[in-house]
Amino acid sequence: EPEVTQTPSHQVTQMGQEVILRCVPISNHLYFYWYRQILGQKVEFLVSFYNNEISEKSEIFDDQFSVERPDGSNFTLKIRSTKLEDSAMYFCASRGQSYEQYFGPGTRLTVT
Amino acid sequence: AQSVTQPDIHITVSEGASLELRCNYSYGATPYLFWYVQSPGQGLQLLLKYFSGDTLVQGIKGFEAEFKRSQSSFNLRKPSVHWSDAAEYFCAVGAGTPFGFQKLVFGTGTRLLVSP
């Protein structure tokens, strides 16, 4: 069964450093998403991406964040200068023509 | 704005007993509703969804949910809980145009504990 994969599973970085979180969506999917979950809190939408451009972004997704689909398979989230409050679990999701979003296992980002 | 409320933070159920997890949503248009389950250290797995039609929907692992428009609810049920069902359960509403980008708005989750 096709699944969304994410790497790395855990990333530790120092405040101010850049990080790139990687996702491989399901191959025939067209819509891509990033969500995050701060420990003990709910899952929050960050950004959606379709046809090689951002379709919607939340207030959280400020200028420090960017997304890219550099080739036909990967979907990346970059945080340019990490802050302590960026520590969270980051989930990638994708969907095809139906409405179900399929989530990856997540990347736990720890900013020290 | 769209929102989802899951009023129970924790629920403990005996193995073999029935389960109902509550979910209320706020959304102006026809909602697209989902239940996801998250086991410890795992991602979010889709249990079931409601888009239209029959208001009682069946999902994986023996779960079902009933959409009640009059109550703005989409409660998750299972007739007999297994120890492996212990996890966190999230209700979500798809916000956006039906053929659009449909970001998901999640509730705060309900942690299910299963006692022997």
- Residue spans of the domains in chain A: they are 15-91
Scan for tokens 């007993």, then name that residue: B17
Q: What pLDDT was estimated at residue B108?
A: 94
Q: What is the pLDDT of residue B40?
A: 81
Across the range A56-83, mean pLDDT stands at: 94
Residue window 37-96, chain A: list those with CB within 8 Å of chain B: 41-45, 48, 50, 55-56, 58, 91, 93, 95
pLDDT of residue A1: 74
Where residue B58 falls among pLDDT bands split at 50, 70, 90?
A: very high
Distance to chain A for B42, nearest Cα, Å: 5
A101 chain-B contacts, CB cut-off 8 A: 34, 46, 102, 104
pLDDT over threshold 90, residue B75:
yes
Contacts 24+ apart (CB under 8 A), B18-21: B18/B77, B18/B78, B18/B79, B18/B80, B18/B81, B19/B76, B19/B77, B19/B78, B19/B81, B19/B85, B19/B112, B20/B75, B20/B76, B20/B77, B21/B75, B21/B76, B21/B77, B21/B89, B21/B91, B21/B110, B21/B112
Which range marks the domain in which residue B23 is found?
3-115
Is B57's pLDDT higher than 70?
A: yes
Q: What is the pLDDT of residue B51?
A: 86
State the Cα angle at B43 between B40 and B48, rounded to 5°. Answer: 105
Q: Does the CA dihedral B58-B63-B68-B69 come out positive or negative?
A: negative
Q: What would the mean pLDDT of B36-57 be, rounded to a whole number?
A: 90
Q: Mark yes or no for CB contact B108/A41 under 8 Å.
A: yes
Number of domain units in chain B: 1
CATH class in words for A15-91: mainly beta
Q: What is the CATH number of the domain that holds B83?
A: 2.60.40.10
Flag whether pLDDT at B98 surpasses 70.
no
pLDDT digits (tens, 9 = 90+) for B1-35: 789 999 999 999 999 999 999 999 998 777 889 99
Q: What is the mean pLDDT of chain A?
A: 93
What pLDDT score does B99 carry?
Answer: 56
Whose CA is closest to A102, among A33, A56, A36, A14?
A33
Inter-chain CB proximity B44 and A91 less than 8 Å: yes
The C-alpha of B38 sits at a distance from chain A's nearest C-alpha, in angstroms, of: 10
